[in-house]
Amino acid sequence: MARGALGAAVLRRLARVGGVLGLGVSLAAPAAAQAMAAGSRDPGTGRAAVIWTATNVPACAPASAKDILVVCPSVRAARQPRPRPAVPARSREPTFTVQGFVHAGFLGFSSTEALTAVYDASGGFLWGGGARVGHRAGLFVQAGASRFAVDGERVFLFEGQVFNLGITSRLTVVPVDVSGGWRFRPAPRPAPPVAARVRPRGPRRWIPYVGGGAGFVRVTERAEFSEAGDDFEERHVSYHVMAGVDVPAGRWLGAGIEAGWRWVPDALAGDGIAAAFGETDLHHFVVVGRLTFGR
């Protein structure tokens, strides 16, 4: 009798835990099913030992608990501290989430010849930050700004030959934009009833997203020996698309990676070396790593 009462208690616990950790139990089930089909005996008592899968324990436990030793791989787990009530995964997130983020990465321009002539590079390090408001369904809106700066020296171009003039120049590109997009949250799994000891393993939930938007890019070029009107500062409308993936690292922290392409037409339409190369646009791609804060 005592055994039967014990067995019923174990099974009830298992049922609760399984509800919380449905995915883990499911992962364990194939091995258990194999053992049940084969049948075995407990080496200590000589009773038939059947390994139950989590899904069929509640239905048969009260009747068979007296004669059958229920051997469950997760029995120890059932003795763990009382788990929280099973709540469907989606319902744990608020309707709206607010996140701040910082990012850093690489920016590469499409107008490579002119940039290389003056700055000996057609891209470089980029950093910035912003904020994102997301809806539980997946829709999000974010605003962000980045900054790219590179140093070079002014040049004279003659028949394809670049003469460096030793006059330091700095190009600063600051994209400021607003984006909208969709985060592809994982589909909710049916809550399994039992899942003792089984915890999430493998990769965290990766949340891919795509989006696009518009903004402006402030382009500044300053050089030594500048006088009135020499330095260049303009703002240009920009459009962009991006795609990335968020990797939650906890309730309030996350990481991610994002790649995007920004169109900045006619941003190089000045009298500088870009015109000499026939390059007028400041289109660029961006690849950044991102740290997020908030939920």
Partner 1 sequence: MHWRRIVETGGGIGALVTALWTLTAAQGPAPTSRILRQPIAPPAIDRGLLDDGNVTGPRHKVAHRQSRRMGSTATADYLRGRVIVKYRTNVSAAGTGRRTSASAASRPSWADFDVVAIDPALDPVRVASELEASPDVEYAQPAYVVRPHHRPNDPLYDRQWNLQEIGMEAAWDINLGATSAVTVAVLDSGLAFQDAVYEFTAVEFTDDGVRYPALGNVTVPFAAAPELSGANRFVSPHDFIWDDDSPVDMDGHGTHVAGTIGQVTDNGVGLAGVAFNVRLMPIKVIAGDWDDIFGSPNVGTDDVVARGIRYAADNGAKIINMSIGRDGPAAPVITAAMQYAVSRGAFIAVSAGNDYERGNPVEVIAEAAAPIEGAMAVASVGRGLRRAYYSGVHDYVEIAAPGGDTRSGGSAAGVYQQTFDAAFTDFFLEPPSRYGPPRFDVFAYRAFQGTSMAAPHVSGLAALLFSQGITSPAAIEAAIKQFATDLGPTGRDDEYGYGLINPRATLRGLGLLQ
Which residues sit at the interface with partner 1, rule CB under 8 A?
114-115, 118-119, 154-159, 161, 163-167, 169, 171, 219, 221, 223-232, 234, 268, 270-274, 276
Min. distance of Cβ 237 from partner 1 in angstroms? 17
User: Which residues share a beta bridge with 243?
Assistant: 210, 259
The rounded Cα 275 to chain-centroid distance in angstroms is 40
By C-beta, is 95 or 161 nearer to partner 1?
Answer: 161
Q: Are 97 and 130 in contact (CB under 8 A)?
A: no
By C-beta, is 140 or 277 nearer to partner 1?
Answer: 277
Min. distance of Cβ 233 from partner 1 in angstroms? 9
SS3 45: coil
Min. distance of Cβ 182 from partner 1 in angstroms? 35
By C-beta, is 36 or 153 nearer to partner 1?
Answer: 153
Min. distance of Cβ 222 from partner 1 in angstroms? 8
By C-beta, is 142 or 238 nearer to partner 1?
Answer: 238
- From residue 276, give the alpha-carbon distance in Å to each of 63, 142, 166, 185, 265: 89, 37, 19, 48, 17
Q: Which helix (H) or strand (E) covers residue 102, if one does? A: strand 96-109
Helices 2-20 and 22-38: crossing angle in degrees, nearest 10, is: 140
The amino acid present at 179, given as its one-letter code, is S
Record the tokens describing residue 219, joined without a space: 């382009």
By C-beta, is 31 or 275 nearer to partner 1?
Answer: 275
Min. distance of Cβ 240 from partner 1 in angstroms? 21
By C-beta, is 108 or 289 nearer to partner 1?
Answer: 108
Q: Are 244 and 209 in contact (CB under 8 A)?
A: yes
Alpha carbons 195 and 34: distance in angstroms, whole number: 18
- From residue 165, give the alpha-carbon distance in Å to each of 118, 132, 168, 169, 221: 10, 44, 9, 10, 16
Min. distance of Cβ 133 from partner 1 in angstroms? 25
